[in-house]
Structure 1
Amino acid sequence: MVGSTSTIGFRLLVGGLYLFLLAPILIVVPLSFSNDNFLTFPPSSWGIRWYVAMFQHQGLMSAFRVSILLAVVVTVLSLAAGIPAAYALNRFDFPGRNALMSLFTAPLLLPSIVLGLAILLIFVKLKLLATFHGLVIAHAVVTTPYVVRIMSTALSTLPASVEEAATMLGASPLTVFRRVTLPLMAPGLIASAALAFLLSFDEVVLSLFITGPRITTLPVEIFNYVESKTDPLIAAVSVVLVAATLLVVLLVERSIGLSKAMVK
C-alpha cells in the first residue's frame, strides 16, 4: 500500500515537471495561429496569417538560410575534428592524455557570455567579425567538445579485441577503422551529428558577439525582431523550430533509438 502511494506520488511529480517544462509551448502554439496584430491570449481570431508572413519576411528567410548552411558546415567540421581526437584519446596511451581531454572539453565549462566575449576580442584582431568563416570557427569551438565527449563514450564501450582480431586477420588500420570501428560507433556518430547541428543552429549568445549587418543567423534575427515588435510572428517561427527539432529527435529514435544514440 505504501509502495503504491509512493509510486502515484512520483508519477504526479513527474507529470507536474513535464507540465512545467511544456507550459511555454502550450501558450506559444495557440498564439502562433492568431490573426491579431499584437500578442494577446487567448487570440480574438484564428488563422495562419503569421505563418504566411514568416515565409514572406526577407530578413528571417535570409537568416534561416545562413543558419542552415552554417549548421551543416559546423557539423561536418566538428565530426572531422572530434572523431579522430576521441579515437586517439581512447585508443592510445601517451603522456598528457588527460590534460588534452580537459583542453578539448574546456569550452563546456565556460558560460556562453564569457566564451563569446573572449572570441570577440580575438576576432577583432583577426578581422573575422560579421563573416561566415568567423561564425563557423566560433560555433565549432562550442560543438566540437560535445562530439569529443559523446564519441569518447561511444568508443569506450567498444571492445578493443574486435579491432585487434581484424588486425590479426590482415586488415590495415584504415580498413579496421572503416569496416569495424566506424559501423560499431555509428549510434554515437549520429547522436553527435544531430547534437552538433542543433547546437549550431540554435546558438544565440555566441552569435550575438560575432554577427553584424553583413551576416546574421536566425536566432539573432529573432532576438532583434522581438526587441522592436510584439506581433505573433515569432510565435509562428518558434512553433516551426520546435517541430523541426522534434523531427530530428524522432528520426534519430526511429533509425537507431535514443538509448543507443546516447550510448549508455
Structure 2
Amino acid sequence: MKNNWMIRLIAILVFLFLIIPLLIIVVTSFGEASAIQFPISGFTFDWYKVVFKSEAFMSSFYVSLGVGLAATLLAIIIGVPAAYLLARYSSKTNAFLNDFFLSPTLIPGMVMGYAIFQLVVVKFQWSVLTSLVIGHLIISLPYVIRLVGSSLQNLDYSIEEAAWTLGYTKFQAITKIVLPNISSGIFAAFMLAFINSFNNIPVSMFLTGPGVTTLPITILNYMEFNYNPAVSAISTLLMLLTVVLMYLIDKTLGLSSIV
C-alpha cells in the first residue's frame, strides 16, 4: 500500500513538472505588459491579434502547413507499401530495412538536419521549398512505417488468404480488404507525421531560406529581438493544434500503440 502511494506521488510530481511550464505559457499570453511576466498584470487578447496580423507569422504558418501536408502525403504514399512489405515478408533483408527506415528517429535532430542539408542543398542545390519537403519527408517516414506496420501486424493475415481463394488478385486484396481495415492506422500515421513535420526545428533550421521559413523558425527568429506575450500566444496556439491532433489520433488508433 505504501509503495502505491509513493508511485502515485512520483507520478503527480512528474505531471506537475511537465504541465506547469505549459500553463505558465498559456497564462502569460493574456498579459497586458509589453514583456512576458508571471504573474500577469491585466488581461487582454491583444497579443493573439498581433499574431494573426503579423505577416511573418502568417506566411510562415502557410509554409509549415504546405510543407507538412506535402511531406506527409509523400510519406503515406511511400510508407504504406513499405510497411506492408516489411510486415508480410520476413527476412534478414527486411529486418535491416526496418531498422534503416526507423533510423531517422534515433539520430540526433541536428545531425540529421545537417546531413540532409549537405545532400539536398550542397550536393543537388534544390530550391528551399523542395529541400524542406524532402527533409520533412525523411523525418516523417519512420512514423508512417511504424504506425501502419503496427496496424498490419494486428490484422489477421488469413483474411487476405480468404480473399485470394475467392478470386481476388493480390492487388485487389490489398486495396479492397487490407487498406480499409487499416484505415485508422493510416489516418493516425498521417496525423502524427504531420505534427512531427509542422513542429520540427532541427531539420528546418538548416533548410529554410529567404522568404521560405517555417513557423517554428520564425518564432525563434522573433524571440531574438522581441520578448513579448506574442511568443506565448503563438506557442499556445501551437499547443492547442497539437492537442487536437493527438486527440484525433487517440480516438482513431489509441496513443498506446505509438508509445
Name the TM-score class by shorter chain: over 0.9
Q: Who is 2:97 aligned against?
A: 100
2:201/2:216 contact within 8 Å kept: yes
CA distance in 2, matches of 1:76, 1:258: 21
Deviation at 1:8, TM superposition (A): 2.3
Q: Who is 1:258 aligned against?
A: 254
Deviation at 1:94, TM superposition (A): 5.3
CA distance in 1, matches of 2:92, 2:27: 57
Equivalent position SS for 1:128: coil
Structure 1 residue runs of 4 or more that deviate by more than 3 Å after TM superposition: none
Return closer, same or farther for 1:173/1:257 CA change in 2, 3 Å cut-off.
closer
Structure 1 window deviating more from structure 2 (173-182 vs 44-53): it is: 173-182
Which one-letter code corresponds to 1:80 in the other structure?
Answer: I
Structure 1 window deviating more from structure 2 (174-183 vs 71-80): it is: 174-183
Q: Who is 1:20 aligned against?
A: 17
CA distance in 2, matches of 1:247, 1:112: 25
2:31/2:44 contact within 8 Å kept: yes
2:160 counterpart of 1:160: no
Structure 1 window deviating more from structure 2 (18-27 vs 177-186): it is: 177-186
Q: Who is 1:115 aligned against?
A: 112
Q: What is the CA deviation profile of residues 202-250 of structure 1, one whole-angstrom value per residue up to 9, with x for unaligned ones?
A: 0011101010113100000001111111111010001111111111122
Q: Who is 1:214 aligned against?
A: 211
Q: What is the CA deviation profile of residues 5-57 of structure 1, one whole-angstrom value per residue up to 9, with x for unaligned ones?
A: 32222222111111111011121111000111111111222111100110000
TM-score by length of 1: 0.92
CA distance in 2, matches of 1:191, 1:173: 25
Which one-letter code corresponds to 2:254 in the other structure?
Answer: L
TM-score by length of 2: 0.94
Q: Who is 1:132 aligned against?
A: 129
Q: Who is 1:190 aligned against?
A: 187
2:33 counterpart of 1:66: no
Q: What is the CA deviation profile of residues 69-104 of structure 1, one whole-angstrom value per residue up to 9, with x for unaligned ones?
A: 111111110010000001111212456222222222
Which one-letter code corresponds to 1:16 in the other structure?
Answer: L
Q: Who is 1:78 aligned against?
A: 75
Identity of aligned residues (%): 34
Return closer, same or farther for 1:93/1:26 CA change in 2, 3 Å cut-off.
closer
Equivalent position SS for 1:43: coil
Which one-letter code corresponds to 1:125 in the other structure?
Answer: K
CA distance in 1, matches of 2:158, 2:132: 41
2:160/2:178 contact within 8 Å kept: yes
Deviation at 1:257, TM superposition (A): 4.9
